[in-house]
Chains A and B, each alone.
Chain A
Amino acid sequence: MSDAQSLPSVNRVVHEPARLAILTVLSSCASADFVFLQRVTGLSKGNLSVQLTNLEQARLVVVVREIVDKKTRTTAKLSKYGAAEIERYWRTMDEIRASATRLDERHGTPRRRSLPLKVRLSSF
């Protein structure tokens, strides 16, 4: 098996930037409401709503809708499965980064390393 094939795969539901941003926020707190998620991720209301529905259908988050002062208040929190998935995602990303570094080293890709002072001075 080649190195490229041995790279671990990532969960594509988590990997999409908007959903990853939502999951990252929710993994740092117990729960967050719709307004906070919108402000912190910079998504539009419609987009955030779609992404939350997708995450809810994928069982990654739990969305609670309640009526407060005649207004709908939406709160989201990470499910146990979602917490495990986001943790696994970051671990996988670390593995991919490590594999890429190993590949670079094996194929002799030049690494950005500063030259010794003597060489730099003599080149001018």
Chain B
Amino acid sequence: MLAATFHKRLLVSPRAYETPGGSLMRVCDINQFMDARAHVDTETSVDPVRLRFLTENFASLQGLNQVVLGVVFLLQPMEEALHVYCKSWPIPWWLTSDILVAVCIAAFRWVPNYYQRRFGCVEQRSPSNRQVVIFLLALIVLFVFKHRIDLMISAIAQRFRFYRGSGLLLFWIAILCTDFLRRPRQVDKHRVYFLACVILACFVVVLYPLWNPHGPHVQLWQFVNSCAFGISLVVLGVFDHLTLVRLLPQPIPDSDNE
């Protein structure tokens, strides 16, 4: 009885007092803390690195978006391959590609909804002024010197006997290399090895004409070269999605409705 009265008096007390550390703390805050302790799972541990990583990289960890994009990039080479290798394919190849395009458009709408429904949504902080300025400067430089850059790439391709069609793949390798440095390694340690394997595989495809000068004329190599970007997008997308699922704790079933 006495304890209940004491507790009630503390709850309604608007008094504030100074803690030994100098911070101001209201008495009712302490009571809220004590009340809430009954609902808190005491085994809950806070892993700030995991929490920050998941929140900051939530958009890039939604790997199914990349998978759909990868399938879109795979469509054209697959269409060509069907046309060349499977002449006895029962459905006309143009119809096959149309069906696949329709499936991809449906998937582009479905995947974000799936992530929002299952994992919720996060609004990221807007980029800082410095980042915006750097991005705009890079864009201006690219636009002004695009002719020179094109000539330079052609010269390098001729010098090292690169196939010009590998330009997209080389650009993709550069993006993957920056991703290598950007992601923190404490949380997803395996990504480094995985990324290294994908980069190496892309390099093997790009550099193949170096030890086989007739490489660019081999139809299979052309097919692999145009497929590599799409395949690596699909593979990395699946990996990112699995990373997201692995890092999230199992949801606790609760009969309460929000």
Contact = CB atoms under 8 A, between A and B. Distances in A.
Interface size class of B (residues with CB under 8 A): 35 or more
Interface string B226-258: 000000000000000000000011111110111
Interface residues of A, number: 45
A72 B258 CA distance: 8
Interface in A25-64: 25, 28-47, 49-51, 54, 57-58
Contact of B119 (A13, A39, A42): A39
B132 interface: no
A37 B39 CA distance: 17
Contacts of B55: 25, 28-29, 32, 40
A23 to B, nearest CB: 10
A49 to B, nearest CB: 7
Given A9-B21, A39-B251, A25 B51 contact: yes
A75 to B, nearest CB: 8
Nearest to A40: B54
B186 interface: no
Contacts of B121: 32-33, 35-36
Contacts of B19: 9
A5 B56 CA distance: 38
Contacts of A57: 32
Interface SS of chain B: loop
Interface stretch (B123-131, B150-158, B160-168, B176-184): B123-131
B51 A30 contact: no
Contact of A40 (B25, B37, B44, B51): B51
Nearest to B56: A28
Contacts of B90: none
Given A9-B21, A17-B46, A45 B256 contact: yes
A117 to B, nearest CB: 29
A33 B116 CA distance: 10
A18 B120 contact: no
A80 B186 CA distance: 29
A16 interface: yes
A50 B125 CA distance: 26
A84 to B, nearest CB: 11
B29 A58 contact: yes
B119 A16 contact: no
Interface string B12-45: 0000000111010100011011001101111011
B254 A18 contact: no
A25 B46 CA distance: 11
Given A9-B19, A40-B51, A43-B41, A35 B125 contact: no
A110 B231 CA distance: 54
Contacts of B126: 30
A29 to B, nearest CB: 5
A79 interface: no
B36 A8 contact: no
B58 interface: yes
8 contacts: A8-B21, A13-B29, A28-B55, A33-B122, A35-B116, A36-B122, A42-B44, A54-B36
Interface of B: 19-21, 23, 25, 29-30, 32-33, 36-37, 39-42, 44-46, 48, 51-52, 54-56, 58, 116-126, 248-254, 256-258
Given A9-B23, A28-B52, 5 more contacts: A13-B33, A28-B55, A30-B123, A35-B117, A35-B119
